[in-house]
Structure 1
Amino acid sequence: SRYCISVNAHALGRYAALCQEVGIVPIVEPEVLMDGDHTIDRSEQETEATLRAVFGELLDQRVWLEGIVLKPNMVLSGYDCLEQAGVEEVAERTLALCRRVVPAAVPGIAFLSGGQSDERASAHLSAMNTIGGVPWELSFSYGRALAAAPLKAWSGEESNATDAQAAFAHRARCNGEARYGRYSEVLERMFAA
């Protein structure tokens, strides 16, 4: 709801201001979830409303935008949407939205994976960095998209620790390449070898 967006935007603004008061760089994390059957159009609409509210609060709280890291979701179709947007559409729509809403003073955007598969999260980030032409550094702050494969490889067994470490290194390399627009399915397979 709009009220929920407003309340959470205010909380993020206050959090960011308090962080900066004590010399901490705030990671501002407004997230529109992938849960549901919403279209990419609806995701874009709600993400825009959320980011506009958050930046309004950041300005009202006198947050120094040059001293934050923005950690938003990408513009994605809902998990259960019958029509899933392709990699290029996600990249183009996410960047178009950021150009409309995110001030150039913000130094970096570290995208959430938001429950995307490991490979899709890497592909989307790489496509955005390939498009380029934006005033921010585009990077990642993935949880599941970095940890899912290592946790599966480990499976709680100490004897699987080496495999888990290799799986983590693989995901980190893939996302490192995506950060520079160099990720591909070929690299995905090459790093896995």
Structure 2
Amino acid sequence: MQIDITPLADLGVATLPPDIVWLRADGTPVAPGEYGVRGDFAVASTQAQGGAGGLVARMPLASAVHLLLWTDAAPPPELLRRFGLRDARGWPGDGFDVDTANGEQALGSYFWVYRRAELSVQIGLELQAEAKRALSPLLRQGAVARIVAVCTIDEVHDRAALDVGLYARDGTTLYAKRFDPLWDLVRGGL
């Protein structure tokens, strides 16, 4: 038996990254404005949800931001050494399926490396730069024209807040969200 796999994009079929559907502890979906404890994907039942039989994809940009920022990427060895870490983490697929000749890069961020860092202005600047680096595939793919990341450090309360803004060519805000990189919003609110 022969199976042919045809990339849908080659046929002009629009594909969207799936939404993260946030669930309560009992497994039921959260209501708008609530936080979930677990993220999952859901099967679409209508075209409006992203195509029947596929995955729900109504908020592809928000889902892409979460996947890019909160997936642990394998950092460069010098960053591991700086924080005394040995486990490089990272998604296993990035070790064998990254086509750098076609502009692909390993996905995810190095935020996890900074979780034990002592907060300072310098760490805030590094978190800003890391957010922009992790979100850069959205620029290369033309999904956004500009990425703004601003990290505010509150050394008194030992907290950091990361504001992320994604903008279209005409300056329209496509996405804006504040994250607590240590890591409140990861609990569920897109």
TM-score, shorter chain, exceeding 0.5: no
TM, length-normalised to structure 1: 0.29
Higher strand share: 2
- Point out the structure with the larger helix share: 1
- TM-score normalised by length of structure 2: 0.30
